[in-house]
Structure 1
Amino acid sequence: MSSTDKNNSVDVQDFIDNQPVAAYQWLILLLCFLVTALDGLDTAAVGFIAPALRDEWGLSSSQLNPVMGAALLGLMLGAFAAGPLADRVGRKTVLLFSVLFFGFWSLASAWAGDVESLAVLRFLTGLGLGGAMPNAITLTSEYCPARRRSLMITSMFCGFTLGSALGGIVAAHMVPLYGWRSVLALGGALPLLLLPLLVWLLPESVRFLVLRGSAHSRVERILRRIAPLPSTWNGRFELDESMSGEGRTQSPIRLILRGELSLGTLLLWASFFMSLLIIYLMTNWLPMLIKDTGLNLSQAALMGAMFQIGGTLGAVMLGNAMDRFDAWRVLTVAYFCGAGFLWAIGQVYQHFYPLIACVAAMGFCISGSQVGANALASNFYPTASRATGVAWAHGVGRIGSIVGTLGGGFMLGMGLGFNEIFTLLMLPALLAAGAVFCMGWRYRKVASPGALNQATTPL
């Protein structure tokens, strides 16, 4: 369908799909990239300041567990709450509030006086972080042309990885000079400084505006910043993939859990849970596992860095492949190869260079696929429930991250060896591959899964 129908109305998504990517769309991607970068910095902050925090307060590693886990719990609950809210009141509104929330409470965390108060403040910070990420993904996806959507989303999401890495660099320089509190203060101040820019420059999703029947003048202003409207335009906008009138009044939670979308939702949840279980176990325990093999601390740290670098490269390259080929097949193959590299890590761990190559390749496949799964989720759901679908997949994935974080310690406590741990980790990787494969088998025949059972909404 062209951007105008026989009555000369403009379908907003079709209009975006048929234009070159404009500077305004790159600006939206950049702003969301900055949000995810600050999200990554704040999420990783406690891990980087933990040694200084432990020394100053005289804590044991186990006494730090509440602080380490509080933000993850907040992230999970924040994602579950923010998605349905964004589908009701708007992506920009919830994104702005989330940035304000995590910035304020991160800043407050810098003045915590004990473990209990810091854990509470990190939990509140996590609530904001959990709402920011899914809405940044959703808002980006709704301004991307379909032909480049996966690459643009995965590129935007790389902000999280780069922000996490920046947190390590910042902590290394600031903690010796100003103490651990300075890192939390910076992690809170930067989002608050970015907030006015987001209010000024970031638009609401044009698809959401049409779906909710907002004033067409507002939609017109946004679309004219992307490209000129057709000369034959009759003053009306449409969204072909939007829900019918009855669907628009239903709970977005009900939309993702009932009908044609329900199986895809469960399969997405399975892939998010399994891949984030692996990623967080690797992030938290890989350096220690490597060090226990006899390598020194700097070599162990290098392994952790290669996992992140591989994930960043994987995100961009797999995102590009998802736009060019069948997205489900791309992710299925990547997860399956990731399982193979997990097995290989357990076989070559006594050889430094083969080990570092396998760790980077595993990060490319597993972490890169998880970023690609964000694009898959945002493309799967219709506008009426997209924020909820993406956010709830993240929420379930955060449960996997908690299981992975705790599971790594549990397996080490059981005395499992290096080879045994990485052989066990093949199972969640294979389950993630199976979930994506089944999703593709079920929905591949549908041109756009998010267009199931939908009708045109005019404005």
Structure 2
Amino acid sequence: MNRFDVEAFIDRQPIGRNQLVVLLVCGLVCFIDGFDIFMIGKIAPAIAADFGQPPEAMAFLFVCQQIGLAAGAFLVSPLADRFGRRRMLIWCCAAFGAITLGSVYAQTLDQLAILRGIAGLFMAAGLPMALALIAETTPDRRRSTFIALSLAGYSSGSAASGAVAAWLIDLYGWESGFWIGGIVPLLCIPLLMFFVPESIKFRAERNPNDPTIAGTLRGLDPGIELKGDEVFVLGEGNEKGRKARLTDIFSEGGDG
């Protein structure tokens, strides 16, 4: 049995196309996540006016979204440790993209509020899952930089929602924010499916004998020598190695 430390392997890799593609795709997810979450505050006056309601009538909608975001952070995000970061991120993009698009057809503010609450479940999980994929693909020396860039994308999404409120509402109505917030996450799905592999660290933690890990490692380093009897572990400190957990991205170092 040949123990192979995938964590050390990733940390030895130079920054190349594979890491940059993951950064760009997951950074786009962070951007649209920030856009979707903060968009509603920018277009709320236009929504209330269109439904013939005073601005304070939007309070229930904001409460529903915040409840959804809080519940999603506690209930949906941890599922990435069970089913995989990439798989759950794809499902989250599909869910909050489709629900955001469906919100355009809400007939009442109460319907819109409920839809925003449900969408919030999945919006809350999008950011940590995208950051986990980036962190577990990037060498330790650049991990903090890549995470910071992704968080900047999240903040840029919030700023972009203000631009929509300033420029597009007068032309296309408040629905334009929901069209953008719904279509972009759906476009992220094929990018995640075809260009972003599942985290090697997660796969090694789930199944140290996973034969597909060897193929992924060869894709990152064509010159790697594998004997075929490798047991893939995280770290060399103990027999089973360290477990990959979503919360690790906030406790590991980088750029040191």
TM over 0.5: yes
Which ranges in structure 1 are unaligned for 5 or more consecutive residues?
Answer: 1-6, 249-381, 394-438, 440-447, 450-459
Residues 223 and 126 (structure 1), Cα distance of their counterparts in 2 relative to 1, 3 Å cut:
same
Q: Distance in 1 between matches of 2:57 and 2:248?
A: 33
Bigger mean CA deviation after superposition, 158-167 or 234-243: 234-243
Matched, 1:172 2:163: no
What letter corresponds to residue 98 of structure 1 in structure 2?
Answer: C
Aligned to 1:369: none
Q: CA deviation at 1:230?
A: 3.2
Residues 240 and 383 (structure 1), Cα distance of their counterparts in 2 relative to 1, 3 Å cut:
closer
Q: CA deviation at 1:152?
A: 1.1
Q: CA deviation at 1:173?
A: 2.0
Superposed structure 1 runs of 4+ greater than 6 Å apart: 242-245
Aligned to 1:162: 156
Q: Distance in 2 between matches of 1:193 and 1:243?
A: 41
Matched, 1:101 2:95: yes
Instruction: Kindly indicate whether the alpha-carbon contact (under 8 Å) linking 1:39 and 1:163 is maintained by their aligned counterparts in 2.
Output: yes
Residues 189 and 222 (structure 1), Cα distance of their counterparts in 2 relative to 1, 3 Å cut:
same
Residues 242 and 126 (structure 1), Cα distance of their counterparts in 2 relative to 1, 3 Å cut:
farther
Q: Distance in 1 between matches of 2:135 and 2:180?
A: 29
Instruction: Kindly indicate whether the alpha-carbon contact (under 8 Å) linking 1:48 and 1:167 is maintained by their aligned counterparts in 2.
Output: yes
Matched, 1:234 2:200: no
Q: Distance in 2 between matches of 1:99 and 1:227?
A: 30
Aligned to 1:110: 104
Q: Distance in 1 between matches of 2:192 and 2:34?
A: 18
Number of residue equivalences: 252
Give a deviation string over 1:343-397, Cα, whole Å, max 9, x none: xxxxxxxxxxxxxxxxxxxxxxxxxxxxxxxxxxxxxxx544x22x379x9xxxx
Aligned match of 1:119 in 103, 113, 116? 113
Q: CA deviation at 1:238?
A: 2.5
Q: Distance in 2 between matches of 1:46 and 1:390?
A: 31
What letter corresponds to residue 95 of structure 1 in structure 2?
Answer: L
Structure 1 residues 401-420: aligned runs within 5 Å: none
Aligned to 1:43: 37
Structure 1 residues 160-239: aligned runs within 5 Å: 160-213=154-207, 216-231=210-225, 233-235=226-228, 236-239=230-233
Matched, 1:30 2:16: no
Q: Distance in 1 between matches of 2:58 and 2:77?
A: 30
SS of equivalent residue, structure 2 residue 232: strand
Instruction: Kindly indicate whether the alpha-carbon contact (under 8 Å) linking 2:64 and 2:117 is maintained by their aligned counterparts in 1.
Output: yes
SS of equivalent residue, structure 1 residue 10: strand
Instruction: Kindly indicate whether the alpha-carbon contact (under 8 Å) linking 1:25 and 1:226 is maintained by their aligned counterparts in 2.
Output: no
Q: Distance in 2 between matches of 1:32 and 1:217?
A: 26
Aligned match of 1:133 in 124, 127, 147? 127
Instruction: Kindly indicate whether the alpha-carbon contact (under 8 Å) linking 1:104 and 1:188 is maintained by their aligned counterparts in 2.
Output: yes
Matched, 1:64 2:58: yes
Residues 244 and 67 (structure 1), Cα distance of their counterparts in 2 relative to 1, 3 Å cut:
farther
Larger Rg belongs to: 1
Q: Distance in 1 between matches of 2:236 and 2:102?
A: 41
Q: Distance in 1 between matches of 2:53 and 2:248?
A: 38
Instruction: Kindly indicate whether the alpha-carbon contact (under 8 Å) linking 1:134 and 1:390 is maintained by their aligned counterparts in 2.
Output: no
Aligned to 2:79: 85
SS of equivalent residue, structure 1 residue 230: coil
What letter corresponds to residue 42 of structure 1 in structure 2?
Answer: D
Q: CA deviation at 1:182?
A: 2.0
Larger helix proportion of the pair: 1
Instruction: Kindly indicate whether the alpha-carbon contact (under 8 Å) linking 2:234 and 2:243 is maintained by their aligned counterparts in 1.
Output: no
Q: Distance in 2 between matches of 1:243 and 1:113?
A: 58
Larger relative contact order (C-alpha < 8 A, sep ≥ 6)? 2
Residues 29 and 383 (structure 1), Cα distance of their counterparts in 2 relative to 1, 3 Å cut:
farther
Q: CA deviation at 1:219?
A: 1.1
% identical aligned pairs: 35
Structure 1 residues 310-325: aligned runs within 5 Å: none
Q: CA deviation at 1:127?
A: 0.8
Bigger mean CA deviation after superposition, 217-226 or 162-171: 217-226
Aligned to 2:143: 149
| TM-score, scaled to structure 2 | 0.89
RMSD: 2.5
Give a deviation string over 1:180-203, Cα, whole Å, max 9, x none: 112112211111122122111111
Q: CA deviation at 1:226?
A: 2.0
Q: Distance in 1 between matches of 2:201 and 2:90?
A: 18
Instruction: Kindly indicate whether the alpha-carbon contact (under 8 Å) linking 2:8 and 2:235 is maintained by their aligned counterparts in 1.
Output: no
Q: CA deviation at 1:54?
A: 2.2
What letter corresponds to residue 122 of structure 2 in structure 1?
Answer: G
Q: Distance in 1 between matches of 2:40 and 2:47?
A: 9
Instruction: Kindly indicate whether the alpha-carbon contact (under 8 Å) linking 2:209 and 2:232 is maintained by their aligned counterparts in 1.
Output: no
Aligned to 1:53: 47
Q: CA deviation at 1:140?
A: 0.9
Q: Distance in 1 between matches of 2:130 and 2:212?
A: 21
